[in-house]
Every structure is written in structure tokens, then in C-alpha cells.
Structure 1
Amino acid sequence: MAEISAVQARTVLARAFADDPLMVWFFPDAEVRPHACAAMFGLLAEHYLADGRVDVASRTGPVAVAMWRWPGPGADGGAGPEELPSMGGLLAAFMGPARAQEVGVAMGTLAAFRPPEPHAYLHLLGVSPDAARQGIGGELLDRGLAAVRAAGLVACLDTMNPANVPFYEAHGFSVRAEVELGPDGPTTWSMATG
């Protein structure tokens, strides 16, 4: 299914999310942000390439990536107890332990707004800036949604970018909740199909 390496995926996603409100909240320093995003997305890419669904759009190389969490074993998205780094450990290294805990608690509140299991969760959908606004993200999303429907599942996601809400609505998602992530965090739109 996926024809992309973790290195390629983390690079595409870091570029795609460089100015995303959540990433700006996580990593306020604009010079550090692409590198911190790449490390975080690289960890996620390793997991999803092993235990999830990864869709890729390529031109001369990968230009867009969608990572889906499917129900079943390995669905929690975490590293095994012996594997380093863990997501929490990585964030603590970048943000400091207190800030990482604050961010983790805020992000943990979003699970309450997702549909009951089983469902498919679109964790990340990113298009390289030089390939944006060409319909590539929509094509990639439609590919994943076709697989979701074929499996008889509901799809859900959380977006912190207000520009993404109409895009996802045009593809059959609706807003289930609008949530503020802490006193200084971005607004989150929890969305689902069906």
C-alpha cells in the first residue's frame, strides 16, 4: 500500500505542517519547528507504516501522505515499552516535562469527541507546500475514505486549522465538537463521517 519511507514521510509532513496552528502551539520557535515536527512525525510514520494505513501521492517523489489508525491490535499508536523514543519522551525533550504534560493532557481530551469504536482515525494528512492546491490532498483523502467505507467503518479526525474544516466537510465529514485546547491552545474541530 505505502511506497514511502519513514524519512520521506516525516519530511513531507514537517513541510506540510510547518505553519499549522497545533505545531505552532507545540513548537513556537519557527526555526526549530520543522526539525521538531520531523522528529515527531518520523516516530508516527514508523508506527503507521508498521501498524496502520498509509496512503501516498507521488509525482517525482512523495508529495502527500495520509496516515490512518484502524481498529485492532496496534491501534493505540504508541511505541512498545522497550522502544525509544516514546512520543511523551520526545515531546518532553523538546518542550520540557511540564509543558509536555500540559500538552498531553490537552490532547487527551479529544478522544471523548470521537465516535465509539470501531472507527478509522485520520491522524495526519499533509501535502508538501509546492504541491498544495492541486487536488492532491482530496484525492488522497478520497482513497482512504473508500477503504473506510469498504470496511464498514466511520471515519473521524481532529483539525486545528480552520481552513481545513470546509475541505473536510466537502468530503463528507461534519463537525462533532469545537474544543479549545487549554487557555493558550488552538481551537480544535473534531469531525466524523456518517
Structure 2
Amino acid sequence: MVTIRDARPGDRAAVAAMLARAFVDDPAMSYIFPDAADRARRLPRLFGLLFDTDAAGMRLVSQAADAGTFWRPPGQAHVPIMAYVRRLIPVLHALGGALPRAMRLGEAIEAHFPKEPFWYLHIAGVDPARQWCGLGGASIRAGLARCDASGLPAYLETATESNVGLYARLGFVPIGDWSVAGGGPRFWSMRRPAGAR
């Protein structure tokens, strides 16, 4: 049986390192950091920053922190620019010269957010060494149970086409696909009504 729990502050480094391994070949991360060596060096910093900025929502991890999901609460999917300005040094440390590409990608993502209130599945990842053990599905289902309790839908986007089927099995329905302007990756937007099976 898979145990999913709320992440604790002390999980930050392990979760950031796990997500860096999980996203090393992700199309969105490859767009932000085209150089593989730079990507491998910067992803733990970026996911550490996201661990911090997503603290207002749900940060769910497996017992050993080898899988996890970050959820932003309704009304907080968009992160105001001032939130990044207040963390300017960590943002620059994480992104370096990739900041313009990251901002372009972020703006494209936010342009496709639903107008209705929703829980935003911002990040979902599993350590590559632990994939296909049910950890990813368990961590997503744990978050979805809380979304269902709130009576609000969940929303996500993925730049990995093979993930669309996984999310569909969890009740998400594709609502559109789009690409980031200027040669950026293609994304699939998906929505799951509250209580969907």
C-alpha cells in the first residue's frame, strides 16, 4: 500500500532532487534549459523554489519522497510578478539566462487557465527509479480526494503527450492543446470535474 502525506519543510531538498530527476527530459524543462548539463544543474534549484512558492496549496509526497504533487489552491494558480520580485535572488539563481524563456512559457500557461475556480495540479513527478510502482497515481488521487471534498474541479497542463492517457484514467478530460509561441513546446490542457471517476 502506498502512503501519501503532506510534505514537510525538511523534505525540500529530497523532493527538489527527485523532481529534477523526474523532469530532466520533460519538453517544457528542455525548452527553458536547452543545454542538458545546465538543465541538470538548475532543475533542483528551480524545484526547490517551486516547493517554497506552492506552500499555500497542497504539497503531497510518498512516504520516502520518491513521488509528489504540488497543487495551487483556487484563485492562486497565477503567481503575481511581485511574488517573484520578492524572491529575485533565488529566481535568478534557479533560472539564470533562461529567465526570458521561463517567463514566456509561464505567460502561455496562464493564458490557458480556466475562468472558473479550480485546483491547479502544478507539478506531478515520480523518481525515474520508482516509476510504474503506482506512486504517481496515488499521489494524484490523494490530491483529487481533497479537490472533491472542496466541490471544485481540478486542472492541469502537460507537455508530455504520453501523460494524457494517465491523466484521463484519473478522470481528467482534454479541453485543448496549444503551443508556446516562438518554437516552444506543445501542451495539452485537461480538466477534471469534482467527483469524477
TM-score range, shorter chain: 0.7 to 0.9
Spell out the pairing of 1:21-60 with structure 2 (5 A cutoff): 21-49=27-55, 51-58=56-63
Shift of 1:106: 3.8
2:111 maps to amino acid:
A
Separation (CA, whole Å) in 2 of partners of 1:76 and 1:149: 21
Cα distance in structure 2, aligned partners of 1:166 and 1:33: 27
Amino acid at match of 2:184: G
Unaligned runs of 5+ in 1: none
Is 1:120–1:155's contact at 8 Å kept on the other side of the alignment?
yes
How far off its partner does 1:111 sit?
2.4
1:30 and 1:122, CA in 2 relative to 1: closer, same or farther beyond 3 A? same
Q: Does 1:71 align with 2:74?
A: yes
Which residue is 1:116 aligned to?
115
Q: CA deviation at 1:140?
A: 0.7
CA distance in 2, matches of 1:158, 1:152: 20
Residue identity opposite 2:87 in structure 1: E
- Segments of structure 2 that go 5 or more residues without pairing to the other structure are 1-5
After TM superposition, where is structure 1 displaced by more than 4 Å over at least 4 residues in a row? none
- What SS is found at the alignment partner of 1:66? strand
Does 2:8 align with 1:12?
no
The answer for the alignment partner of 1:158 in structure 2 is 157
Give the TM-score normalised by the residue count of structure 2.
Answer: 0.84
